[in-house]
Amino acid sequence: MVVGEAFALATNANRPVNVSDDVLRVVAVAVVCAFVLRADTPADELIKKIQDRYNGARTLSLNFVEDYSILGHPRPEESGKLTLRKQGKMRWDYTHPAGKLFISDGKTVFLYTARDNRVEKVPLKNTEDMRAPLAFLLGRLDMKKEFRDFELRPGPGGSWLKAMAKNERVPYQSVEMLVAPDGSVRQLKVVGRDQSLLSFSFSDEKLNPPVSDEAFRFKIPPGAEVVDSADLAQER
């Protein structure tokens, strides 16, 4: 039923004689508003595509190129392979720089750098690393629960979807993703609360590749220095 038909039904000439025109106008406006609120916006449709694609997957792998800058000062570009599994499990294998590894087993985050033979260990719920929230791509993805104030604009080969974080406790304040027509995320920009910018370009996405739980179990290399979150807080 279209809005015009709804309005016509609400103002039908066969109305009871004891119902005032003012009341009918209020009813008509309420009916029209209900139909307008039910209509999906282009942003709603794109969000549904993203959620349908990733909520149906148990594992995901893709190649990434990572750029990070803070206050306009960029760091060297990094790249590698990202593997995700439901329940917040992530594995970032860096090929550049070689020997860098970021793993989340769903409870704890480990960051290893081979150059220093050093492991940083932080509970997932306490980490401020902006890579950790990317686990939202797999799981019970509900973008309207995680984000607000969605904006949509055209982009190369798809559409840019921008949103603000709903929860002020997360380390980022906004995200912007380039979404292809099939709902896949091709680029992602994450703005931190310190005005840092973390950007990713993704390629060679594979849905549901075989991935064992072992891939998300971090084994401390021989002789590595292990620094836990309490030690990191003292260092800073």
pLDDT at 12: 52
How do strand 118-123 and strand 225-228 relate by DSSP bridges? parallel
Residue type, 183: G
Task: Find the radius of gyration of the CA atoms of the chain.
Answer: 24
pLDDT at 21: 53
pLDDT at 35: 36
pLDDT at 18: 52
Domain architecture of the chain: domains with CATH:
3-38 (no CATH), 43-235 (2.50.20.10)
Non-local (6+) Cβ contacts of 163 within 8 A are 143, 147, 148, 149, 150, 151, 174, 175, 176
What is the pTM (predicted TM-score) of this model? 0.76
Backbone angles phi, psi at 14, to 5 degrees: -90, 25
User: Tens-digit pLDDT profile for the chain (236 aa)?
Assistant: 433 443 344 345 455 545 455 443 444 444 334 333 444 789 999 999 998 898 888 999 999 999 999 988 999 999 999 999 988 899 999 999 999 999 999 889 999 999 999 999 999 888 877 776 676 676 666 888 889 999 999 999 999 999 999 888 788 899 999 999 999 999 999 999 888 999 999 999 999 999 999 999 999 999 999 998 755 544 54
